[in-house]
Amino acid sequence: MDLSEFLDVFLEECFEGLEVMESGLLNLDAGTDLEEINTIFRAAHSIKGGSAAFGFEHVSGFTHVMETLLDELRNGSRQVDRKTVDLLLASVDILKEMVEGLKTDETPDEERVTALKNALQAALAPPTGDKSTSNPAKEPAATKEQDIWTIRFAPHSGVFREGNDPLRIFEALAELGDLQAYTETEKLPSLAEFDPLNCYLSWDITLKGTLTEEKIRENFSWVGDNCKLDIHKLTSPADDQVPEIHAGTAAEIHNDTAPVSSAKEPAANKTSVQDTKPQANRESSSIRVSIDKVDLLINLVGELVITQSMLNQAGLHLMRRGGSESEALLNGLAQLERNTRELQENMLQIRMLPISMAFNRFPRLVRDLCNKMGKKVNLVLSGEQTEVDKTVLEKIGDPLVHLVRNSLDHGLETPETRLAAGKPEQGRLELSAQHESGNIVIRISDDGAGLDRHKILKKAMEKGLVSDKDELSDERIDNLIFQPGFSTADKVSDLSGRGVGMDVVKRNINDLGGTVSIQSHEGQGSTVIIRLPLTLAILDGQLASIGEDTYILPLISIVESLQIRQENLKSITGSTELYRFRNQYIPIIRLNQLLGNDAGTDDLEQGLLVVVEAEGQHAGLFVDKLQGQQQVVIKSLESNYQQLEGISGATILGDGRVALILDIPGLIHLFHRTGQQPAALAATS
Amino acid sequence: MNNNAALQTEKDAQTEQNTEQYLTFCLAGEEYGINILKVQEIRGWSEVTPMPNTPASILGVINLRGTVVPIVELRSHFHLTSAAPGPTTVIIVVKAHDGKGNQRTMGVVVDAVSEVHNINGADIQPAPQIGDAADRPAVAGLATMEERMIIILDVDELLINGVLGLPDEQNAA
C-alpha cells in the first residue's frame, strides 16, 4: 500500500490536532476544565497513533511522554498549573516543528527535543497519586490488538463487612491492562444517615488490554454474588479512541475502603456503561476537497453567470420583436437568472471560512508577549464565526499580527504605569469581526495609552511628511502612522518599532481591496479599523463608459457622482484642474486622457464627475456617463498578461466583451506620477 | 522480409520524429509558420477591449470563453505597415511558456492562415543575421516549402518579448 497518499492527510490532521491542543492549553489558563483536558488528550493521542502507524518514531515517542503528563492532568493526580501548561505549550511547538519537518524530511534540533523530553519526564518523575487509575506507560504506541472492556461493578452495601476490599480488585485488574475507573457517588446518603461500614459506591470501569471475560470475572470471584457485575466487550474501534469514562473522580477509590461483612444479592440487571465520549465541538461533518477543485467550480459558475446574462440580453431583443413564444422564453430566462445567482452565491460560500482561523493564533501570541514584556493583558475575541473568503483570510493574518503586536508594545502600558494612571492593572485588548454592508470589518482596540499626537507630528515634520503650517485634523495626524518609515517608538524592540510595520500593514490591506484607519483617544486607547471585501472573486462595481468602452469602478471607493457645475471648476496656474467638492478642492482626473482613450469627451460639462476616495484622499474621475451597478466576476489580467498600473483586473460583461476594472489608488498614483498636475496633492491636504 | 518491413517502419518513425507540423499564415505578403502543437485554436476577428499604457502592438484583451486573453498585433510588433482587419483576418490563439514555468494563452492577429506543412527539423536553417538581431529574436529559422520561404517563429520568445515586455522591465517592476 502506498502510504504517501495518506501522508498529506495525516500531516493536515496533525496540524489540526496541534491547533486544538494549543487552544485547549490556553483555555486551561482560564480554569481547569476536564472536557478541555480530554480534548487535548485526544488530539495528542491521535497524533501519537498516526505517527506510529507511519513509523515516525521520534514523533510518537515524544507525544507519548506528553500524553503521559496529560493523562495525569486528566485523572486529577496532577493539578493544572502554569508551569505544566508552559511546558506543554513548548512541547506543542516542538511537535509542530517535528511535523513540519516530516513534510520536508528534516528533523528538528535533536538537543532541544531531548531537552524538552527530559523536562517532561522530570515533571512526571514525582510519584503521582493513583495507581489504580491508569498506567499509560504500559500502553503500547500503536494500540492494535487491544480489546476494550467495560465493567459495571456495584457491590452490595455489605461488601466491606464480608472482608472484601474493592481497591484490591482494582489493583489486580490494573495489572491486566490499562484501567480507568469512575466512581458513582449518587447513592451516598447525607452525613447524618451515613454508615461508614456500608458501601454506597459503585464503579464504572474501562479496561483496555488483551484479556478474556473469565480473567476479569476471576478477580471478582471473592465478591461472589454480593454485587451487580456487568462485563461487556466493546469492539475495539479502528482509530482506537477509548470511550471516555468520566475520569475525574477515580481517586476516591482510595478513600472509602474498610473491610467488613456479608449479605446476599443476586447478580443482576444489565446496566451497560453508556459511551460518554465527549462530543468534540470542533468536529463537524465535512469533507476535505482540494481548493483547486472548488476554484474550478467557482470559475465555471462565473462562466454560467456570464452566459446567463448574455442569454438575457438576447431574450430581451426577441421580446421586443414580439411573438407568442417570447414570453415563455423570458420566464425561463428569469428562472435561469434566479438559479444561477443562487448557485453563484452558494458556490462562493464554499470558500468562506470563519475568521477564527486567523484569530486563533492570538491567545498564544498575546500570552507569550505578555510574559516577555511583563504586561498583563486580557484578550477578548468576538465575532470569530464571521465568515470571509479563504484568500482574504490567508492574507490578513500577517497584518493582524503586526497590529496586535503594536498594541501590546506601544499601546498597552505596564501594570505599574496603568495603576499610576488610575486604570485597572490588567489591560484589555479586543479583536472583533463583523459583517457590515457587504464588507467584513475587523477592529483591534486596546485601552492603552493611545497615540501621542505631539510625538507623531514632530516626527512627521522631521521626516518632511507635513510642514509646520499645515493644520491637520486629529484623525489625519493619527493616520500618519501608516506612512512608510514611520515609528515613534523610543527604542527599537524585537517586537516592533522599526517603522516597517504600519505601512506594510496598510499596503497589504490595500492589496486586498480593503482600507485601514485608526481612531485614538489619548490615555484611553486606540482602535484600528480594517475594512475588507468578503471575497476577492466578485466585486460590486459601477459601470462607467468612456467613448465606446466600459470600465468598472469599485463601488466601495465611490463617494458621490455628480454633474459638473461651472462655478465649482477651479484651476491652478491655468493647467491643474480642481473641483470644489464639499469645501474641499479635489483634483480632476480625466480618465479618457489617463487611460489613453481618445473617444471620450473632453468637455467637462458633457460628462460626469465620480468622486472617489483612496488612501484618505479624494479625487474626481471624469467619465462620459455612468451605466448600471452590478456585481462582476473578477478575472485576473496577470494569468495571461501582466499587471497594469491603475487596473486591478478585468471582467466579462453581459454582451461577452471584456471590461477593465479600475484600481482607484493605482490610478491616483499613476495620475500623480505622470506629472500632469503635481500641485494638486498639496492643495488637497 | 518481416525484418525489412520493421526496419522500414523504424526509419519512417525516425524521420517522423524530426518532422513537425507547422501552421503557416500570411502577414504583409510574408509567410510565417508556428509549431502546430502550440496552437490552441483559430478564431475569427472580434472586437478587442483596449488596455491603457501598453505598447501599440498589444491591441487589448478578448474574452475567450471566460478567460481574459491579450491580443498581439503581429504586423505592428514586427514594424510592418498596419492594415485594417479584413474578411480573412483571424486571431490565432497560442499557448506559450513564459520561461518561468507558467503556461500563458495569447492571441496573435494575422492577415490570413494558409495551411499546415510537415517540416523536418533538419530543413530549418538559421535566419541570417541582418541588422539588429535583438529586434526579432522570435524568429527561430527559415524553411523552404514549394519554393516559398517560411519564417518559423518561436512562440515562447514571442510571448516573452512581445507580450510580457522586455526582461529588464520585468525585473524593475
User: pLDDT band at residue A165, thresholds of 50, 70 and 90?
Assistant: confident
Q: What is the pLDDT of residues A182-220, one digit of tens each?
A: 777 777 777 777 777 777 788 888 777 777 777 777 777
- Tell me, yes or no, whether B173 lies in a domain: no
pLDDT exceeds 60 at position A241: no
Task: Return the percentage of chain B with pLDDT > 90, whole number.
Answer: 20
* Nine cell digits for residue A518: 485608526
**Residue A449: what pLDDT?**
82
- Look at chain A and report how many structural domains it folds into: 5
Q: Which of A500, A533, A566 is the last residue of a domain?
A: A533
- Tell me, yes or no, whether A284 lies in a domain: no
Domain co-membership, A669 together with A586: yes
CATH at A639: 2.40.50.180
Domain co-membership, A109 together with A191: no
- Tell me, yes or no, whether A343 lies in a domain: yes
The set of residues, in sequence order, having a beta carbon less than 8 Å from that of A335 and lying 6+ positions away, is none
Query: Whole-angstrom distance between the N-terminal and C-terminal Cα of chain A?
Result: 68
Q: Which of B43, B67, B94 to mutate to test the interface with A (most CBs of A within 10 A)?
A: B67
| Closest Cβ opposite residue A650 in set B54, B68, B105 | B68
* Higher pLDDT among residues B88 and A274, named by residue: B88
pLDDT exceeds 80 at position A526: yes
Give the DSSP per-residue string, A419-434.
HHTT--SSEEEEEEEE
CATH at A242: 3.30.70.1110
Q: What is the pLDDT of residues A6-15, one digit of tens each?
A: 777 788 888 8
CATH at B89: 2.40.50.180
**Residue A670: what pLDDT?**
86
* Higher pLDDT among residues A59 and A486, named by residue: A59
If you measure CA to CA, which chain A residue comes closest to B63? A658
Task: Report the range of poorest mean pLDDT among A2-6, A212-216, A325-329, B3-7.
Answer: B3-7
Instruction: Give the β-pairing of A584-590 and A617-623.
Output: parallel
Domain co-membership, A654 together with A619: yes
pLDDT exceeds 60 at position A543: yes
Interface of A with B (CB under 8 A): 299, 302-303, 306, 549, 594-597, 635-637, 639-647, 650, 652, 656-660, 670
If you measure CA to CA, which chain B residue comes closest to A667? B52
pLDDT exceeds 60 at position A1: no
| Closest Cβ opposite residue B50 in set A302, A549, A640 | A549
Q: How far is CA A26 from the centre of its chain?
A: 15
Prediction ipTM score? 0.78
Measured between beta carbons, the chain A residues lying within 8 angstroms of B62 are: 658
Quote the mean pLDDT of chain A.
76
* Nine cell digits for residue A463: 521626516
* Higher pLDDT among residues B46 and A144, named by residue: B46
Q: Nearest C-alpha of chain A: how many angstroms from B67?
A: 7
Interface of B with A (CB under 8 A): 47, 49-54, 60-63, 65-70, 104-106, 163-165, 173
- Tell me, yes or no, whether B3 lies in a domain: no
Q: How far apart are CA A547 and CA A563, in angstroms?
A: 18
Domain co-membership, A88 together with A148: no
pLDDT exceeds 80 at position A16: yes
- Tell me, yes or no, whether B29 lies in a domain: yes
- Tell me, yes or no, whether A593 lies in a domain: yes
Pick the closest to residue A246 from A81, A63, A85, A37 (CA basis). A37
- Tell me, yes or no, whether B87 lies in a domain: yes
Q: How far apart are CA A205 and CA A230, in angstroms?
A: 10
- Tell me, yes or no, whether B75 lies in a domain: yes
Q: What are phi and psi of A536, to 5 degrees?
A: -95, 0
CATH at A72: 1.20.120.160
The set of residues, in sequence order, having a beta carbon less than 8 Å from that of A6 and lying 6+ positions away, is none
The set of residues, in sequence order, having a beta carbon less than 8 Å from that of A142 and lying 6+ positions away, is A49, A52, A53, A60
- Tell me, yes or no, whether B4 lies in a domain: no
pLDDT exceeds 90 at position A177: no
* Higher pLDDT among residues A288 and A469, named by residue: A288
**Residue A2: what pLDDT?**
56
Q: How far apart are CA A222 and CA A218, in angstroms?
A: 8
Cβ contact A549–B53 (<8 Å): no
- Supply the Cα-derived Rg of chain B in whole angstroms: 18
Asked if B68 contacts A640 with a C-beta cutoff of 8 angstroms, the reply is yes
Give the DSSP per-residue string, A279-294.
--TT--S-----HHHH
| Closest Cβ opposite residue A660 in set B49, B164, B165 | B49
Domain co-membership, A375 together with A304: no
Domain hosting residue B40, numbered range: 20-168
- Tell me, yes or no, whether A166 lies in a domain: yes
Q: Which of B48, B51, B100, B168 to mutate to test the interface with A (most CBs of A within 10 A)?
A: B51
**Which DSSP letter does residue A448 get?**
S
Quote the mean pLDDT of chain B.
80
Measured between beta carbons, the chain A residues lying within 8 angstroms of B171 are: none
Q: Which of B48, B68, B166 to mutate to test the interface with A (most CBs of A within 10 A)?
A: B68
User: pLDDT band at residue A246, thresholds of 50, 70 and 90?
Assistant: very low
Pick the closest to residue B93 from B68, B121, B75, B56 (CA basis). B68
Q: What is the pLDDT of residues A622-662, one digit of tens each?
A: 999 898 888 787 888 887 888 788 888 898 887 778 999 99
**Residue A442: what pLDDT?**
92
If you measure CA to CA, which chain B residue comes closest to A635? B68
Q: What is the pLDDT of residues B125-144, one digit of tens each?
A: 887 776 655 555 678 888 88
What count of CB pairs under 8 Å joins A to B? 73
Q: Which of A640, A662, A676 to mutate to test the interface with B (most CBs of B within 10 A)?
A: A640
CATH at A423: 3.30.565.10
Domain hosting residue A178, numbered range: 136-255
- Look at chain B and report how many structural domains it folds into: 1
Q: Nearest C-alpha of chain B: how many angstroms from A656?
A: 7
Task: Return the percentage of chain A with pLDDT > 90, whole number.
Answer: 4
**Residue A266: what pLDDT?**
42
Asked if B79 contacts B69 with a C-beta cutoff of 8 angstroms, the reply is no
Q: Which of A479, A510, A533 is the last residue of a domain?
A: A533
